[in-house]
């Protein structure tokens, strides 16, 4: 046994030394990786990974502390908090408590952070961090009484220093109004003028209060604390606030200034940065207000590259699309936003979006859908207030009512819309906006004088600054009536710099612009067969003068196949239109060409008696209505006509005309006719029109006459036309019209025969600048009692040149 004891003591000594050696190795390894982490980001990541392995193997508290510190250096707060899931706050060292307190605040676990800092106070009562951190964490947790208590404890231990003043300032952000914070922060800056944190805190509060002069003074006084980006942020913010206030006051000068300042920020910042993006969003809003739709859409295309934009930017984009005449594109954006809003907690669509949806539906001519969206607003006259105990006036009641009137008018029932507004005005006789809408409805039904009367009534109930708005409305009505003298009297007081008048000036420039018109017709008889008869007219009008006068040049050509003996004639001339409202005088003179080798002239007068009735008279020497076959015989004709047009209602118009065509060969052709047009039905994009006409004519018996010359003839015709309109994008509107008609034609000494026609046509509108129409069809006409079947077509193009 004695020999065993020495060996046992040796083994025991060796075994006892193992933990010490292992501990030494762990600490050495820990220190090696801690030093390695200081060499850069890659080394920091590598050291963290190795430290995690080391802690997993050893569970050593010092390794744990270093691992937490390394994770925090990489902003991995959540990972730092998860290093020891079984630890309690009492298990941590002071360094760990400080680091984990920061981590808990970073991941918004303020109550846990508070517990950590409170434990730090226990383990390191002489340290400031535990008290400062606890006050901050309590503030984060909205435990303001506890935060105040921690501040008071700190002051008892360490006095009032810069650190605790910053914590107090942080607490005051939550418990004091901004104005009170501002006063305190100004005192702090006065007390410590070189304290950067205090200066920046004061700047931030001034920013929240939008005290731009104070912000600028701080920038001037402390140039080292601010950089160029800070100055641009201030410029962008000030411009955005200016835009918002100027929109509310409709101050065009300030809106334009805001747009220019935001544009300057956009140009000085790099695309994709936060400042550039925000300034571009705000510049887009300013562009929409100014009517710069192309710029607004261009801004959105830049923003779109940066990813999905916030809802308010999407709404701005949809608004710009509607302004640009692109309701289909706008619809996709608006419906997506509608779906998003309906998916929110309250599931309601906001009123601003409802109005855009209604506008979109209206522009697309889906008026039934527009009416459904109007009903998304509360249509009750009174609604409960926020207490649900008191009934107050519904701010959207008039909006709903007015939209219903507009939709009724756009659906073709203008009379019904006017009746709705009459009812409203009976109940609200001093409502100027109702008078304005009624005036717009009158103008839409071509009752311009009544429209102006309603606009003038509204003047008495609007402030002085709104009078120019009424002037623009009245000027548009006068423009539609052709009263250019009145237009210019009112336009002289409307500044082109005033953003609210942009639409008026666009219309004014369009209506006054020079115009090129090209039209042509073609007809081919198929039974009995003959060649193609065609005619074409090209006319170029000068711009209107301020008084409404304009000049034009015209060229016309006509070709008649005449069974192989081709006949052609034409004319070239110039004319003027002299506006002597309510009279319009037209004079034209020129020279005929080919078979019509003779001068010609005409004089016409149109008289607008009132909104409903207009008269016209015209006299022409060598009339354009002289048959080409008469010109073949060197026979020319002078023409005298009278006409009248009466608009019975917004749906119905009637007219009558009489005329005499005196030929050189002694023939006198007399004619008379009446006609009626009526809008029968309209539903959304579909519209059905009808027309009836009857005519009578007589000629002297001229045996040698080569042209068609019935002794007496009578006709009656009826036509139905069905039109389907498709609003496209980019201000393009496409119309398809299918029409069919039937009638009877009788001629002295000949058998009375049926007539009919069937045609299909397209019409294109390209904004205000151009229209294009073409059609083709087939018909049965009657000549000398014999039916003749014809294929025919026509083309019309009008271009505004401005």
Residue 527's DSSP bridge partners are: 789
**How far apart are the C-alpha atoms of 713 and 748, rounded to whole Å?**
6
Model pLDDT for residues 575-614, shown as the tens digit of each residue:
999 999 999 999 999 999 999 999 999 999 999 999 999 9
Does residue 211 register a pLDDT over 90? Answer: yes
- The residues near 249 (Cβ < 8 Å, ≥ 6 apart) are none
The torsion region of residue 440 among left (phi > 0), alpha (psi -120 to 50) and beta comes to: alpha
- Provide CB contacts within 8 A for 785, sequence distance 6+: 747, 749, 750, 751, 753
Q: In degrees rounded to 5, what are phi and psi of residue 731?
A: 65, 25
> Can you give the pLDDT at residue 381?
82
DSSP for residue 464: G
Whether 436 shows a pLDDT value over 50: the answer reads: yes
Q: Across the strands, what pairs with 642?
A: 617, 658
The phi and psi torsions of 627 (rounded to 5 degrees) equal -60, 140
Of 763, 755, 714, the residue nearest 735 (C-alpha): 763
Token pair in block for residue 63: 């390794």
Look up the pTM and report it: 0.81
pLDDT of 285 higher than 60: yes
Helices (H), 325-466: 327-342, 351-363, 367-374, 397-410, 414-427, 432-444, 448-459
Kindly state the tokens that stand for 702.
Answer: 């001229």
* Whether the Cβ atoms of residue 611 and residue 484 lie closer than 8 Å to each other: no
> What tokens were used for 725?
């309109």
Bridge partners of 551, per DSSP, are 576
Q: Which tokens hold the place of 74?
A: 């990489």
Are 745 and 722 within 8 A, CB to CB? no
- Structure confidence at residue 9 as a pLDDT band (50, 70, 90): very low
Instruction: Walk me through the domains of the chain, giving residue ranges and CATH numbers.
Output: 388-510 (1.25.40.10), 513-801 (2.40.160.40)
DSSP string of 647-706, one letter each residue? E-SSSEEEEEEEEEEEETTS-EEEEEEEEEEEEEEEETTEEEEEEEEEEEEE----TT--
Considering only CA atoms, give the Rg of the chain: 43
The dihedrals phi and psi of 305, each to the nearest 5 degrees, come to -65, -20
Three-class DSSP category at 619: strand
pLDDT at 15 exceeding the cut of 80: no
* Cα–Cα distance, 432 to 455 (Å, whole number): 8
Q: Check if the beta carbon of residue 459 is closer than 8 Å to that of residue 467.
A: yes
- Quick one: pLDDT at residue 13? 41
pLDDT at 21 over 50: no
* 20: pLDDT strictly greater than 80: no
Give the whole-number percent of the chain exceeding pLDDT 90: 83
Q: pLDDT (tens digit, 9 = 90+) per residue, 721-744?
A: 999 999 999 999 999 999 999 999
Instruction: Please report the pLDDT score of residue 250 as a whole number.
Output: 87
The distance from CA 323 to its chain's CA centroid, rounded to whole angstroms, is: 4
Query: What's the pLDDT at 23?
Result: 55
* pLDDT higher than 70, residue 167: yes
Q: Which residues pair with 259 in a beta bridge?
A: none
- Whether the predicted pLDDT of 432 surpasses 50: yes
Q: pLDDT digit string (tens) for 338-386?
A: 999 999 988 999 999 999 999 999 999 999 999 999 999 988 888 777 7
pLDDT, tens digit (0-9, with 9 covering 90-100), for 608-652: 999 999 999 999 999 999 999 999 999 999 999 999 999 999 999
506 sits in which H/E element: helix 502-512
Structure tokens at 399: 């909006």
The residues, ordered by sequence, that sit 6+ positions from 303 with a Cβ below 8 Å of its Cβ are 277, 280, 281, 284, 309, 313
3-state SS, 34-97, equals HHHHHHCHHHHHHHHHHHHHHHHHHCCHHHHHHHHHHHHHCCCHHHHHCCCCCCCHHHCCHHHH
The CA–CA distances, whole Å, from 200 to 131, 265, 406, 756 equal 24, 22, 54, 86
- Using CB atoms within 10 Å of the CB of residue 238, give its burial: 0 to 12 exposed, 13 to 18 middle, 19+ buried: middle
Within a 13 Å sphere around the CA of 35, how many CA atoms are in the beta-carbon half? 5
Q: Which among 635, 638, 740, 627 has a CA at the least distance from the CA of 688?
A: 740
């Amino acid at each position: 046994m004695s020999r065993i004891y020495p060996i046992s003591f040796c083994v025991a000594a060796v075994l006892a030394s193992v933990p010490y050696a292992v501990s030494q190795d762990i600490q050495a390894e820990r220190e090696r990786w801690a030093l390695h982490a200081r060499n850069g980001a890659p080394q920091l990541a590598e050291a963290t990974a190795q430290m995690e392995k080391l802690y997993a193997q050893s569970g050593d508290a010092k390794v744990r502390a270093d691992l937490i510190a390394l994770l925090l250096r990489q902003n991995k707060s959540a990972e730092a908090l998860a290093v020891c899931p079984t630890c309690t706050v009492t298990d941590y060292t002071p360094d760990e408590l400080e680091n984990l307190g920061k981590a808990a605040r970073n991941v918004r676990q303020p109550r846990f952070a508070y517990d950590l800092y409170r434990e730090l106070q226990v383990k390191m009562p002489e340290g400031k961090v535990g008290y400062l951190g606890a006050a901050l964490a309590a503030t984060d947790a909205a435990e303001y009484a506890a935060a105040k208590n921690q501040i008071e404890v700190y002051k008892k231990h360490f006095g009032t220093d810069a650190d605790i003043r910053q914590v107090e300032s942080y607490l005051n952000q939550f418990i004091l109004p901004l104005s009170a914070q501002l006063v305190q922060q100004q005192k702090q800056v006065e007390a410590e003028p070189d304290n950067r944190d205090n200066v920046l805190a004061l700047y931030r509060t001034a920013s929240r209060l939008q005290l731009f002069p104070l912000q600028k003074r701080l920038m001037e006084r402390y140039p080292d604390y601010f950089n160029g980006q800070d100055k641009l942020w201030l410029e962008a913010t000030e411009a955005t606030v200016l835009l918002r206030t100027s929109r509310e006051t409709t101050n065009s000068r300030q809106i334009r200034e805001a747009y220019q300042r935001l544009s300057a920020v956009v140009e000085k910042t790099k695309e994709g940065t936060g400042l550039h993006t925000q300034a571009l969003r705000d510049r887009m809003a300013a562009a929409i207000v100014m009517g710069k739709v192309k710029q607004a859409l261009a801004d959105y295309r830049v923003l779109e590259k940066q990813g999905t934009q916030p809802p308010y930017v999407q709404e701005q984009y949809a608004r710009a699309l509607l302004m640009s005449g692109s309701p289909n594109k706008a619809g996709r954006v608006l419906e997506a936003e509608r779906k998003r809003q309906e998916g929110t907690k309250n599931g309601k669509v906001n009123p601003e979006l409802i109005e855009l949806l209604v506008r979109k539906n209206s522009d697309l001519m889906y008026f039934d859908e527009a009416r459904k969206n109007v009903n998304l607003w509360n249509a009750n006259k009174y609604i409960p207030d926020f207490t649900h105990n008191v009934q107050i006036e519904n701010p959207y009641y008039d909006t709903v009512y007015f939209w219903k009137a507009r939709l009724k008018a756009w659906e073709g029932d203008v009379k019904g819309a006017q009746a709705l507004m009459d009812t409203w005005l009976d109940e609200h006789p001093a409502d100027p906006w109702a008078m304005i809408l009624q005036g717009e409805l009158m103008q839409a039904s071509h009752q311009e004088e009544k429209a102006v009367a309603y606009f003038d009534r509204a003047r008495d109930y609007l402030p002085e600054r709104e009078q120019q708005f009424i002037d623009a409305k009245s000027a548009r009505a006068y423009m539609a009536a052709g009263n250019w003298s009145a237009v210019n009297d009112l336009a002289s007081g409307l500044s082109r710099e005033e953003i609210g008048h942009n639409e008026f000036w666009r219309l004014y420039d369009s209506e006054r612009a020079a115009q090129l018109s090209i039209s042509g017709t073609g007809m081919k008889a198929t039974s009995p067969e003959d060649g193609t008869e065609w005619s074409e007219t090209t006319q170029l009008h000068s711009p209107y003068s301020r008084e409404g006068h304009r000049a034009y040049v015209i060229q016309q050509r006509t070709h008649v196949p005449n069974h192989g003996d081709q006949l052609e004639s034409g004319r070239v001339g110039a004319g003027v239109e002299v506006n002597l409202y309510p009279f319009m005088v037209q004079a034209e003179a020129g020279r005929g060409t080919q078979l019509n080798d003779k001068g010609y002239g005409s004089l016409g007068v149109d008289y607008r008696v009132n909104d409903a009735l207009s008269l016209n008279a015209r006299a022409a020497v060598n009339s354009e209505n002289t048959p080409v076959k008469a010109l073949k015989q060197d026979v020319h004709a002078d023409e005298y006509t009278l006409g009248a047009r009466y608009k019975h209602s917004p749906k119905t118009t009637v007219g009558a005309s009489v005329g005499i065509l005196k030929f050189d060969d002694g023939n006198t052709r007399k004619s008379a006719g009446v006609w009626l047009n009526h809008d029968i039905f309209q539903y959304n994009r579909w519209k059905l029109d009808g027309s009836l006409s009857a005519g009578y004519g007589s000629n002297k018996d001229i045996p040698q006459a080569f042209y068609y010359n019935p002794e007496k003839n009578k006709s009656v015709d009826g036509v139905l036309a069905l039109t389907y309109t498709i609003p496209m994008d980019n201000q393009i509107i496409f119309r398809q019209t299918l029409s069919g008609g039937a009638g009877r034609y009788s001629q002295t000494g000949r058998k009375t025969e049926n007539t009919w026609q069937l045609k299909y046509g397209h019409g294109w509108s390209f904004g205000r600048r151009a229209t294009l129409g073409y059609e083709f069809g087939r018909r049965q006409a009657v000549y000398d009692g014999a039916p003749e079947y014809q294929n025919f077509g026509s083309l019309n193009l009008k271009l505004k040149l401005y």
